[in-house]
Amino acid sequence: MKKRVALVTGAAAGIGRQIGLRLSRDGIAIGVLDRELDGAARVADEIVAAGGDAVAVAADISQRHQVDAAVAEVRRALGPVTIVVNNAGISAQVPFQDLTDEQWDTMMAVNLKGTFIVTQVVLPDMIAAGGGRIVNISSSSAQSGAATMAHYSASKGGVIALTKTLAQEFGRYSITANNIAPRFVMNTVMSEKQFTEDATRDAIIKAGPIRRQGEPEDIAGACAWLVSDEAGYVTGQTIGVNGGRYI
C-alpha cells in the first residue's frame, strides 16, 4: 500500500464530498464517483486546487458495467484502488403497508447491491497490493429500525452483515472491512429532502445525548481513521457516529 488510492462513491456532495476532501489531506489520491459527473468534477477540481490528486468518474453503482468502466478509469488515472468508501445511497420514507415491490427493489439495488458490486470490482486490486481498506456507510436506522423506513433500514442492515462477512473472508489478505453508522447528518442531499421542518430537526437533535446535528465532517473523521495504518487491527466493526442516538 505504498501509494494509496481511494474510490469514494456518492462523492459529489455531502458526506461523500467531505470524505474525499479529508482523505486527500492525508495524501490519498481520490477517485470521485457519482451518478452526476458535473458534481463529481467540481469535487475533484476542489481536491486538486488544494494540492491533492483526484479524478472524477460517473456511474450508477447498481449497474456493474458502469462500475467496471469507472474503476478502470480511476486505475488509469491514479493507479490500483486500495481503499473503497461505499457511501452512495438513497433514502425514502414510506409507510410499510404502502411500500411497493418497485420501491423495495430500487432501495436494495442501490444501497445493498451497489455496495456489493463496487466492492467486488475493486477487491482484486487490494489482494494484489497485499492489503486494503473497505469502509461502508450504513445507518443507525439499521440498528434500531425506523418507522416508515423498512426498505431503507433493511438495506442498511444488509450492509452491516455484508461488512462482517467481508472482514472474515478477506482478513487473511490484510484487508479490513468496517462500517460507519451515522444518524441524521445535515448538509447532505438526504437530509435536505427528508428533514425540511425545523420542528422535526429539533426533535431529532434532542433525541440523542449529544444535542447537535451530525455534520459530514464527523463521518469523514471516522473514515479517515478506519483507512489509516492505526486501524489496521480493526475489522468487522460498526462505528456509531450518531451522537449517542443508538447505544
- Rounded to a whole number of angstroms, the distance between the first and last alpha carbons of the chain is 35
pLDDT for the residue 1: 46
Domain boundary assignment for the chain? 5-240
Interhelix angle for 114-129 vs 64-78, to 10°?
A: 30
- Helix, strand, coil % (nearest 5) of the chain? 55, 15, 30
Q: H/E/C letters for each residue in 16-29?
A: HHHHHHHHHHCCCE
Backbone angles phi, psi at 34, to 5 degrees: -160, 160
Could you tell me the sign of the dihedral formed by the alpha carbons of 232, 237, 238, 243, in that order? negative
**5-240: CATH architecture:** 3-Layer(aba) Sandwich (3.40)
pLDDT for the residue 199: 67
Predicted TM-score (pTM) of this structure: 0.94
> What is d(CA 27, CA 10) in angstroms, rounded to the nearest whole number?
20
pLDDT for the residue 195: 56
> What is d(CA 77, CA 53) in angstroms, rounded to the nearest whole number?
10
pLDDT for the residue 79: 97
Active site residues: 152
Per-residue pLDDT of the chain (247 residues; tens, 9 = 90+): 467 999 999 999 999 999 999 999 999 999 999 999 999 999 999 999 999 999 999 999 999 999 999 999 999 999 999 999 999 999 999 999 999 999 999 999 999 999 999 999 999 999 999 999 999 999 999 999 999 999 999 999 999 999 999 999 999 999 999 999 998 776 555 555 555 566 677 877 777 799 888 899 999 999 999 999 999 999 999 999 999 888 8
- Number of neighbours of residue 25 by Cβ within 10 angstroms: 14
pLDDT for the residue 193: 57
